[in-house]
Amino acid sequence: MPLSIPFARKTVTAVLLLLACVASFFALTTSTTFAQPVAEPMVINRGTSAEPPSLDPNMAAGTLASPIINDLFTGLLSRGPDSLPAPGAAESWEISDDRKTYTFRLRPNLRWSDGRPLTADDFVYSYRRIMDPKTASRLVGMYFPIKNTRSIMEGKLPPESLGVSAPDDRTVVIELNEPTPYLLELLSNLQSVPVPRHVIEEHGSGWTKPGVMVSNGAFYLADRVPQSYIGLKKNPYFYEADNVRADVVNWHPTQDLATSLKRFRAGELDIILNFPPSEIGWIRENLADSLYITPIPGTYFLVPNTRKPPLDDVRVRKALYLAIDRDAIANRLLKTGVSPAWSQVSPALSTYPGIEMDEAKMSFAERQELARKLIRESGYDTSQRLELAYDTNEENRKIMVAIAAMWQAIGVRTELINVEFPMLFRKVRMHDFALSRWFYIAPFDDAYAMLQVFTADNPNNWPGIVNPDFDEMLRQSNYINDPAERQAMLQNAERELMSDYAVIPINFYVGRRLISPRVKGWVDTPAGPTLSRYLFLAD
Amino acid sequence: MFTLRRLAIALPTLFIIATASFFLMRAAPGGPFDAEADLEPAVLENIRAAYDLDKPLLEQYWIYLTNALSGDFGPSLVYKDFGVNELIAIGLPISAKLGLLAMIVALLLGGLCGIIAALRQNGIIDHIIMALAMTGIAIPSFVTAPILVLFFGLYLKLLPVAGWNDGAPANMVLPIIALALPQIAIIARLMRGGMLEVLQSNFVRTARAKGLRESHVILRHVMQTAAIPLVGYLGPALAGIMTGSLVIELIFNLPGVGRYFVQGALNRDYPLVMGVVVIYGALIIALNLLSDLAYAALDPRVRRGYR
C-alpha cells in the first residue's frame, strides 16, 4: 500500500518532534541542576548494602546501621583512626578494684548538634530508654552485664533502678553484675551513645527525621530519602570539629552488589563495603589500587542439630567435620580471599590467638578414612538422606553442592534444602532442621562474643548444645584479670566447644572493600570500616 | 450511570482485596522478626506487644481496618524510622513519574512502529519491527538494564550509572528506557494487530471507495477503532508500571515502591505489604475504570450495553 507513505512520514515527524520536546525539557532542567556553587564542599559518597532499619541508636541492631550511627553519635568511648577503641565523649575513666564499677569523666563543654549542652544525664537517659520494655529495643541483650538489666527488661524493676547513674554533670557511673573484661570494647560500639532527651520527648518516634534529629557525633542528619541516600553534614558543635575534613557524607544504600560496583567504577561512590564475589578476578586486574581484602571477625559454618538423631551422635558430627576439604572450598572453589576455618573463633579478633585443631594437620585422605570409620562405628544409616538447609544465594549453593559431594565420598547422602533467609532463620531458631548453613559475626572485638552464643541458656545456641564445662570456662574467663591468662581460658573454652563438634566451621570471612584512591585516611582493619570523620578527599 | 455503577463495585472490591491479603499474609509461615539475632524471649515479647502483634488475629484485623479507613497504614516493622504512609508517599510519586514517562515513550514509539508495520504488512519493515518486538518481549529487563548501564554509563560516560539524585533528569533516562522497552514491543504488536483487523473491514473499504484521502482514512477511521485493544491493555499495564519494578529499582538504585511488594512480603512486614497492596488495588481499579470509560467513548456498543 504505497499510498500510506505521506501519512507515515507525518506521524514519524510528529513523534520525533514530541521526543525532541521531552529531550529539551531534560536538557533545560539538567543545566540548572548541575550548576556548581563557588566554594565546593568536600563530599564523600559511601555505599552501604541496604537501607538501615533505623538511625535511632537505641533501636538499630546489626552491622548495617552501625557505621552510619557511628558518624552521627559518639559514645563514652569511640574509635580511633585505626578503628580500635579510643576515648570518645569521655576523656578518662577509672575502674574499681573489684572491676564492677566504671566511672567515666566527660570532656568539658560537650554539646548537641543544636548547640544545647550535653550532660551525663543524657547518657543515663539513653541507657534507661533502651531497657524500658515500652521502647521494645532489640539491643537489650548486649547490656546484660550492667546491673539490673534483665529485671528491668522483664518488667520486674523500673528503668530507674538500672546500674547507670550521673552523680554530676560530667560523671557517668556504670555498675556491673560481675566483672566484664570486654566492657570498654562493648562501649566503643553503639553501646554507650547518648540520645537527646529534649528532642525525643518532644517528637516521639519521629525524632529520627532529618531536620529534627539532633546528635553529638562528627556529623548530623541533614537529609534522607529511604532506599536512596542518607545525607550527613559536618556538626560544628562536635568536640573535635576542627579535625573533621569532610563537609558532607552521603551514605547510599545499594542493595544490588553489581550496581554498587558499577557506581563505584563510575565514580558515583567513593567507598563500597562489598561487591559481587564473582567479580574478584576482574577487580584484581583492573581496580587493584582500590581493592582492600582484610579478615573480619566472622565465621561461615554449618550448624548440626545436636538434639535430634542422627546428629545427636558426636561421631557422626566429627565424621562430617573431617570429610570437608576446606582448602578446596576456600582456594579453588571460591577464590574470594576467605581462609579455611578449622575452629569457630575467627583469628581476626585483635586479642585472640585462635586454636589449632589436630585434624588440620592430617591429609584429606587420612581424614576421609577416619570419617568412614566413624560413620561405620556410629551405625549411621547410609540409605537415609541428611537434610542440609541453606539460604538462597549463588555462593551458598556452590559451597553446599561441594560439601554434599565430599560427604558422598564417606557414604553420607545429602538432600539440599534451599529457602529464603528469614525462613532459614526461623527453622534454626525453632531447632526445626537437621543441618544448616550458618554464620556469625562477632558483635564486639573479643572471643567471648563468638563463644557466648553456645552457652546452654543463650537464645542463640543454634546447635542446642549443653556442655557445663564449656559454660563454666566462659564464666571463669570474666574473673581473670591478666589478659594472656584470660585468652588462654577462652582458648580452652573453644577447644571444649570443638571437642563436641557442635559446629562445623567452613571458612573465615574477609571484608572486601573498594576504596577510591582519592579517599585518604582509610585504614583497613578487621575492627570495622573507618569512621567518616577521619576521611578526606585529595587527588 | 455507567460510571456510577462501576464506582459502586470498586469499593467492595478494594475491601475484599484488603481483607484477603491481610489473612493470606498472616497465614504465610514465618513472622516479621524471624531474621533478627540475639533476641531473648522477653525482648521478642516486648517488640510484639509494641506492634500489637500479641493480640488475637481478629482484633489485629479490626485495628488494621479502622486505621486504614482513617488513612493510616501504621508503622513499618522493618524500616522503623518511617510509617508505611511515609514510605508510600515518598516512593509512589517516584515510581509513578518513571512509569508514566516510560508509558508515554512506549506509546509514541510502540504505536508508531505498530502502525508502520501494519501499513507494510508482510514487507521487510514489518518483519524487522515484529522481530525486534518479539525480542523486546522476550529479553527480560534484568538483562537489558545492565547492558544499558554498561554502554551509556560506564563506556560512553553519558549518563549516571544509578541513583535517584532527587529526580535529576539525567538519572531518569536509563530507567525510563529500560521500563519502556518491553512496553514498546507489546504496544507495537497490539497496535499492528488492531490496525490489520480494521484495515480489512467493510467501513474502511467504503471510506476508501468514497475517495477519502488515505491519511484521513487512517487517522479518522482506522486508528480510532484499532486503538480499542490497546486501551484495554493500557489500564492494568499503567497500574503495573506506575507502582514500580523491583528489578529496575535494584539495578538503578531507585527509591520507588516496587521493592516494597517483594521485600515487604519476604520480610513479613505486614503493614507495609498491606499498604502497597491497597494502593496498587486502588490504582488498578481506577485505571481499569478509566480504560473502560475510554472504551465506551471509542466504541458506542460498550456504552449501549450498559443502558
| Alpha-carbon gap, residue B94 to B304, rounded angstroms | 39
Q: pLDDT tens digit string along B112-139? A: 999 999 988 888 989 998 898 888 888 8
- A234 domain-assigned: yes
Element (H, E) at A405: helix A394-408
Q: Which residues pair with B150 in a beta bridge?
A: none
Contact: B79, A51; criterion CB under 8 Å: yes
> Any idea what the CATH number is for the domain that residue A78 is in?
3.40.190.10
Question: How many Å lie between the alpha carbon of A134 and the closest alpha carbon of chain B?
Answer: 7
Average predicted confidence (pLDDT) for chain B:
86
User: How does pLDDT run across A287-332, given as a tens digit for each residue?
Assistant: 999 999 999 999 999 999 999 989 999 999 999 999 999 999 999 9
pLDDT of residue B36: 64
* Record: contact B34-A426, CB cut-off 8 A: yes
Q: Say if the Cβ atoms of B90 and A225 lie within 8 Å.
A: yes
User: A12 to chain B: which residues are within 8 Å by CB?
Assistant: 112
pLDDT score of A17: 56
Q: Answer whether residue A221 shows pLDDT above 50.
A: yes
Interchain proximity B80–A141, CB inside 8 Å: no
With a pLDDT cut of 70, the percent of chain B lying above it is 95
What integer pLDDT is reported at residue A31 of this predicted model? Answer: 43
Distance of CA A30 to the CA centre of its chain: 39
pLDDT digits over B176-192, tens only? 999 999 999 999 999 99
pLDDT greater than 70 at residue B303? no
The pLDDT value recorded for residue A11 is: 55
Domains of chain B, earliest start first: 93-304 (1.10.3720.10)
Inter-chain touch B249–A252, beta carbons under 8 Å: no
The sign of the dihedral angle between the CA atoms of B292, B293, B295, B300 is positive
A221 contacts on B by Cβ (under 8 Å): none
Q: Which DSSP helix (H) or strand (E) runs through B137?
A: helix B124-138
Question: Which of A10, A142, A153 has its CB closest to that of B42?
Answer: A153
Please give the Cα distance from B12 to B285 (Å, whole number).
11
In the stretch 9-28 of chain B, residues with CB closer than 8 A to chain A read none
3-state secondary structure labels for all residues of B165-231: HHHCHHHHHHHHHHHHHHHHHHHHHHHHHHHHHHHCCHHHHHHHHCCCCHHHHHHHHHHHHHCHHHH
Nearest CB partner across the interface for B253, out of A4, A259, A443: A259
Nearest CA in chain B to A440: B37
**Domain annotation covers residue A274:** no
- Same domain for A201 and A180? yes
Is the Cβ of A367 closer than 8 Å to some Cβ of chain B? Answer: no
- Pairing type for strands A385-391 and A413-419 reads parallel
Residue A283 lies in a domain: no
B73: nearest Cα among B274, B219, B227, B267: B274
Note whether A505 and A520 are same-domain residues. no
Global ipTM: 0.87
Whether residue A4 and residue B214 make contact (CB cut-off 8 A), yes or no, is yes
Per DSSP (E only), the strands in A96-228 are 101-106, 164-168, 171-175, 219-225
Q: How far apart are CA A342 and CA A356, in angstroms?
A: 8
**The predicted structure's pLDDT at residue A405:** 95
Grid cell for residue B91 = 516512593
Residue A32 pLDDT > 50: no
| A486 and A532 both lie in a single domain | no
| Chain A residues within an 8 Å CB radius of B37 | 61-62, 460
Same domain as A358, residue A241: no
Residue A173 and residue A306 in one domain:
no
Chain A nearest-CA distance from B2, in A, is: 34
> C-alpha distances in angstroms, B219 versus B120, B194, B207, B238?
16, 14, 12, 24
Asked if B168 has any chain A CB less than 8 Å from its own CB, the reply is yes
Q: Which of B112, B119, B255 sits opposite A227 (nearest CB)?
A: B255
Q: Compare all CA atoms of chain B with the CA of A258 and give the residue at the minimum distance.
A: B251
What is the Cα–Cα distance from B78 to B76, expressed in whole angstroms? 5
Nearest-by-Cβ selection for A4 from B29, B218, B256: B218
Q: For the residues of A353-390, what is the DSSP string, one character each?
A: -----GGGGS-HHHHHHHHHHHHHHHT--TTSEEEEEE
Q: Cβ contacts (< 8 Å) between B54 and chain A: which residues? A: none
Strands A90-95 and A101-106: antiparallel
Question: In A, which residues are within 8 Å of B266 by CB distance?
Answer: 420, 422
Model confidence pLDDT, tens digit, residues B285-296: 888 888 888 887
Cβ <8 Å between B215 and A6: yes
Q: How does residue B51 score in pLDDT terms, banded at 50, 70 and 90? A: confident
Residue-wise pLDDT tens digits, A469-499: 999 999 999 999 899 999 999 999 999 999 9
In B, minimum Cα distance to A426 occurs at B34
Q: Are the CB atoms for A56 and B81 separated by under 8 Å?
A: yes
Residue A10 counted as domain residue: no
Are A250 and A304 within one domain?
no
Answer whether A254 touches B (CB < 8 Å): yes
Taking an 8 Å cut-off on Cβ atoms, the answer to whether B38 and A51 are in contact is no
Give the rounded distance of the alpha carbon of B297 from its chain centre.
23
Q: Which three cell numbers stand for residue A223?
A: 537529609
Rounded to an integer, the average pLDDT of A492-517 is 95
What is the pairing mode between strands A385-391 and A435-441?
Answer: parallel
Q: Which residue has the higher pLDDT, A178 or A20?
A: A178
Average pLDDT over residues B256-265: 88
pLDDT greater at residue A63 or residue A82: A82
Interface check A19 vs B, CB under 8 A: yes
Nearest CA in chain A to B155: A266
pLDDT 10s digits, B77-108: 888 889 999 999 999 999 999 999 999 999 99
Contacts of A61 in chain B (CB under 8 A): 36-38
Q: How far apart are CA A73 and CA A123, in angstroms?
A: 12
Which pLDDT tens digit goes with each residue over B202-220?
888 888 888 888 888 888 7
Cis peptide before A310 (omega within 30 of 0): yes
| Distance to chain A for B153, nearest Cα, Å | 7
Neighbours of A382 (CB within 10 A): 11
Q: What average pLDDT does the segment B13-36 reach?
A: 82
Mean pLDDT (whole number) for A33-47: 74
What is the C-alpha to C-alpha distance for residues A64 and A400, in angstroms, rounded to an integer? 26
pLDDT of A208 reads: 94
Q: Which residues of A touch B122 (CB under 8 A)?
A: none
pLDDT exceeds cutoff 60 at A26? no
Which A positions 264-293 lie with beta carbon below 8 A of chain B? 265-266, 268
Please give the pLDDT value at position B11: 83
Query: Are A84 and A119 in the same domain?
Result: yes
Taking contacts as CB-CB distances below 8 angstroms, the residues of chain B near A227 are: 91, 249, 253-256, 259
Chain A residue closest to B208 (CA)? A3
**Residue A528 and residue A488 share a domain:** no
A112 shares a domain with A55: yes
Give the CA diameter of chain A: 101
Residue A247 lies in a domain: yes
* A202 and A304 housed in the same domain: no
Q: What share of chain A is helix, strand, coil (3-state, %, to 5)?
A: 40, 20, 40
Q: Which domain holds residue A79?
A: 45-257+516-537
Residue A34 pLDDT exceeds 70: no
Q: Read off the pLDDT of each residue in A415-420 and give the average, rounded to a whole number.
A: 91
CA distance B14 to B21: 11
Please tell me which of the candidates A7, A30, A259 has its beta carbon nearest to residue B170: A30
Residues of chain B found within 8 Å of residue A18, distances taken between Cβ atoms? 108
**Looking at the domain assignment, is residue A181 inside a domain?**
yes
CB contact under 8 A, B253 and A256: yes
Q: Does B246 touch chain A (CB under 8 A)?
A: no
- When mean pLDDT is compared across A41-55, A256-270, A371-385, B65-79, the lowest value belongs to B65-79
d(CA B78, CA A62): 13
Q: What is the mean pLDDT of chain A?
A: 89
Q: Which cell numbers hold the place of A443?
A: 558483635
CA distance B171 to B179: 13
Number of domain units in chain A: 2
Interface membership of A210 toward B (CB under 8 Å): no
Q: In this model, does residue B157 exceed pLDDT 50?
A: yes
Same domain, A351 and A235: no
* CATH number for A500: 3.10.105.10
- For the beta sheet containing A90-95, the strands, ordered from the edge strand earlier in sequence to the opposite edge, are A90-95, A101-106, A171-175, A164-168
Q: Work out how many CB contacts closer than 8 A connect A with B.
A: 184
A15:B252 CB<8 A: no
Share of residues in chain B with pLDDT > 90 (%) = 30
Task: Please report whether residue A2 resides in a domain.
Answer: no
CA A513/CA A77 separation, integer angstroms: 26
- Is residue A537 pLDDT above 90, yes or no? yes
Residue A102: CB atoms within 10 A of its CB come to: 22
Where does residue A515 rank: exposed (0-12), middle (13-18), buried (19+ CB within 10 A)?
buried
Cα separation, B285 vs B291, in Å, equals 10
- pLDDT score at A16: 56
Q: Is B132 on the interface with A (CB under 8 A)?
A: no
Cβ-based contacts of B149 with chain A (< 8 Å): 259, 262
pLDDT in the model for residue A396: 93
Distance from CA of B178 to the nearest CA of A (A): 15
Residue B240 reports pLDDT greater than 90: no
Question: Mean per-residue pLDDT for A402-406?
Answer: 96
Best mutation target among B38, B90, B143 (most A Cβ atoms within 10 Å) is B38
3-state secondary structure of B300: helix
A32-48 average pLDDT score:
74
Nearest chain B residue (CA) to A3: B214
What number of other Cβ atoms are within 10 A of residue A72's Cβ?
A: 26
| Min distance A522 CA to chain B CA atoms (Å) | 24
The set of cell numbers assigned to A122 is 543524657
Nearest-neighbour CA in chain A from B103: distance (Å): 13
Query: Do the chains contact at B168 and A420, CB–CB below 8 Å?
Result: no
Q: Are residues A322 and A401 in the same domain?
A: yes
Q: Is residue A287, in this structure, part of any structural domain at all?
A: no
